[in-house]
């Protein structure tokens, strides 16, 4: 029996959150698109893993230019996903199963089809004229400054009616809201209250550091590599990485708005926020600013562990950097989400390592201090799908193909039943193909195999829940060579030593003599040995010892 958490309001601290990408989870209508009723149908699968909450990627009304991250109505469900009644039914069933529900709140920008923008662009003197970021051109007709779009090209688009440019950090069809306007903030908080009143338990705030822009519209300086950065800090195929984004995001005014957001949530019991911070070398400072003091975000996640490195040195550096920078905030760790290649594909050197790496990764993630987020399908050990260009739906991938293949490879449908058409996802043609390699790893296959990745996830998350130390206990690293990751977790009367060998060779870890080793704890899927005070590990192995 899982131990109950101490305080209902603190359920998020140390929680395990399962991300659902609705379009790819389960289709119940045969149109090839996942829907809310499909999520309701599969909530039992999620609950069986032993997670605490689900995070739903956007299901709001949208023209779907960016798969729902371009919202045209914040208070309604897009017909492709169902109705508000379907959402209410899903929410009720999740709560019946003991699952909290977090929804994706995309408020830095809207769709260009949102009524607010339709009115804003109609003239320079309408009631919503200042609801978006408008600016006059330079005398030569060019954009107001050098800001770029993450999805390629300038971050400005000309509008012939207003004879001005509007700002867009993403697609041209995703104009940025003007958070300097208090009416915009009020309108957005009203939509948040709509979902709070409906019973949602929290919000994942998309691009939470993008809300405000520099009022003076100053040019961004060139990118300057930071040797201390632990995340992705180098220009890639996208010119966006060639700037230091000093003025187009992460502005100081954002802190005051986050306090307003938190004050609204605090009117309700047991609500929580997790912010997505994409800020390059400044990410950890931004997380510290946004989660400290108990009056802003409850927790944030960065992209530090979403890169290609799966080494002891990298993990240690990420965690220690967070510990130094964020003294009273909280982090949410993840290896995968809907925006990056699946971590099994990023971490393996050969296909035969897939299962071992999948098991080792969730075991490591589950022992870190912080909350953790899992992405649908990783509990099956799914690899990144290799899609043909004609199958792509992601505008980001289409724009930068073939140097960057986009995000569709991690968004393919969830495989439920090996013997069914499209692996049981849909009776119609799916919006993205289901790879045969994925179908062979379907849920109905793995749940029957005791040592499958799926059952390893269940066992590992049960281990995490059984030890209160792993929820929010202290974490301290021990000295070791860079091939070994060793740390303790401690809370109350329990102190555990974890040792991970992320290399492919056998290794030994000799604890300091001051550490009095107790009995090894059985950790699902791993069999490191304790011999004469030395922990012996195979390649891609780990051990847990009580101290």
Q: Give the residue numbers annotated as catalytic, written as ranges.
A: 206, 267
Burial of 179 (0-12, 13-18, 19+ CB in 10 A): buried
Name 46's Cβ contacts closer than 8 Å, sequence gap at least 6. 18, 20, 54, 97, 99
CA 458 to chain centre: 20
Question: Rounded distance, CA 105 to CA 191, Å?
Answer: 10
Question: Rounded distance, CA 231 to CA 224, Å?
Answer: 14
Q: Where are the alpha helices (DSSP H) in 149-307?
A: 182-198, 253-265, 283-291
Strand order in the sheet with 484-491: 474-477, 484-491, 494-501, 541-546
CA 136 to chain centre: 36
Question: Rounded distance, CA 47 to CA 94, Å?
Answer: 8
Q: Is the dihedral of CA 189, 195, 199, 204 positive or negative?
A: negative
CA 381 to chain centre: 17
340-350 burial, b for 16+ CB within 10 Å, e for fewer?
A: bbbbbbbbbee
Question: Rounded distance, CA 159 to CA 260, Å?
Answer: 32
Question: Rounded distance, CA 372 to CA 18, Å?
Answer: 9
Opening angle at CA 102, ends 35 and 376, nearest 5: 55
Question: Rounded distance, CA 386 to CA 435, Å?
Answer: 8
Give the end-to-end CA distance of the chain in Å, rounded to a whole number.
24
Tokens 């075991």 belong to 363
Question: Rounded distance, CA 182 to CA 197, Å?
Answer: 22
490-511 burial, b for 16+ CB within 10 Å, e for fewer?
A: eeeeebbbbbbbbbeeebebeb
Greatest CA separation for the chain: 80
């Amino acid at each position: 029996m899982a131990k109950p958490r101490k305080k209902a309001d603190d359920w998020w601290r140390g929680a395990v959150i399962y991300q659902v990408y609705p379009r790819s989870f389960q289709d119940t209508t045969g149109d090839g698109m996942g829907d809310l009723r499909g999520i309701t149908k599969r909530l039992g699968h999620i609950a069986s893993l032993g997670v605490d909450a689900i995070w739903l990627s956007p299901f709001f009304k949208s023209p779907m230019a960016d798969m729902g991250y371009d919202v045209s109505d914040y208070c309604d469900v897009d017909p492709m996903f169902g109705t508000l009644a379907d959402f209410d039914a899903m929410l009720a069933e999740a709560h019946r199963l003991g699952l909290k529900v977090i929804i994706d709140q995309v408020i830095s920008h809207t769709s260009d089809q949102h009524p607010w923008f339709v009115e804003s662009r109609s003239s320079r003197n309408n009631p919503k004229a200042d609801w978006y970021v408008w600016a006059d051109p330079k005398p030569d007709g060019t954009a107001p400054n050098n800001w770029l779009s993450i999805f390629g090209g300038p971050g400005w688009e000309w509008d012939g009616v207003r004879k001005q440019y509007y700002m867009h950090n993403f697609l041209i069809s995703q104009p940025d809201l003007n958070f300097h306007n208090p009416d915009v903030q009020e309108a957005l908080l009203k939509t948040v209250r709509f979902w709070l009143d409906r019973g949602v338990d929290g919000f994942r705030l998309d691009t939470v550091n993008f809300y405000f822009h520099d009022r003076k519209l100053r040019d961004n300086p060139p990118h300057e590599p930071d040797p201390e950065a632990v995340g992705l800090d180098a220009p890639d195929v996208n010119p966006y990485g060639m700037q230091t984004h000093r003025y187009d995001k992460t502005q100081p005014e954002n802190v005051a708005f986050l306090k307003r957001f938190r004050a609204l949530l605090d009117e309700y019991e047991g609500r929580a926020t997790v912010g997505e911070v994409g800020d390059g070398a400044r990410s950890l400072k931004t997380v510290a600013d946004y989660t400290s003091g108990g009056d802003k975000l409850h927790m944030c996640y960065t992209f530090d562990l979403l890169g290609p490195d799966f080494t002891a040195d990298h993990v240690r550096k990420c965690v220690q950097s967070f510990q130094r920078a964020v003294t009273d905030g909280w982090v949410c760790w993840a290896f995968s989400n809907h925006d990056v290649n699946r971590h099994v594909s990023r971490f393996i050197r050969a296909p035969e390592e897939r299962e071992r790496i999948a098991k080792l990764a969730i075991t490591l993630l589950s022992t870190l201090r912080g909350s953790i987020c899992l992405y649908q399908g990783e509990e099956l050990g799914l690899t990144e799908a290799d899609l043909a260009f004609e199958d792509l739906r992601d505008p980001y991938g289409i724009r930068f193909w073939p140097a960057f293949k986009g995000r569709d490879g991690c968004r393919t449908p969830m495989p439920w039943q090996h013997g069914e058409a499209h692996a049981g996802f849909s009776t119609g043609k799916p919006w993205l193909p289901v790879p045969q390699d994925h179908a062979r790893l379907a849920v109905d296959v793995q749940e029957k195999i005791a040592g499958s990745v799926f059952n390893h996830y269940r066992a590992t998350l049960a281990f995490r829940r059984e030890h209160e130390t792993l929820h929010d206990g202290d974490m301290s690293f021990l000295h070791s060579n860079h091939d070994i990751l060793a740390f303790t977790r401690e809370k109350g009367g329990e102190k555990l030593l974890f040792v991970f060998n992320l290399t492919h060779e056998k290794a030994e870890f000799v604890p300091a003599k001051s550490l009095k080793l107790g009995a090894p704890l059985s950790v699902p899927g791993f069999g490191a040995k304790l011999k004469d005070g030395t922990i012996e590990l195979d390649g891609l192995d780990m051990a847990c010892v009580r101290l």
